[in-house]
Amino acid sequence: MSEFTIALGMVAPYYNLILTLIAFYLFIKLFRTKPKTKTYFAPWGYILLAMLVFVLEEILTILRAQGIVNIPIHINGFFELAIIILFIYTLLIQRQYVKKHF
């Protein structure tokens, strides 16, 4: 591996958290809007929950890289599985809503 890829791997969790903070700000703006029509926000709540699981995963990755916690690396797979399950559930409830109302 080149030095650039090693450096990129070291800072990736940090800029992932920065981008997640921007996305979290956009979620706050979304949930504070007052829609003029009835809006179905349930899928967005599950996407927000998946994003919070991602933040937890990234924080644990940073703490592991700093040597503060000693958690096995395969734990990340469980977080990723939870994120995928939440995304699939989001798609299913959106599909059910569209089928019922349209």
Mean pLDDT of the chain: 93
Domain positions in the chain: 3-34+41-101
Measured CA to CA, the distance from residue 61 to residue 39 in angstroms comes to: 36
CA geometry: angle 64, 66, 67, nearest 5 deg: 65
| pLDDT band per the 50, 70, 90 thresholds, residue 18 | very high
* Choice among 1-10, 57-66, 71-80 with the minimum mean pLDDT: 1-10
Answering whether pTM is above 0.85, one says yes
Measured CA to CA, the distance from residue 93 to residue 88 in angstroms comes to: 9
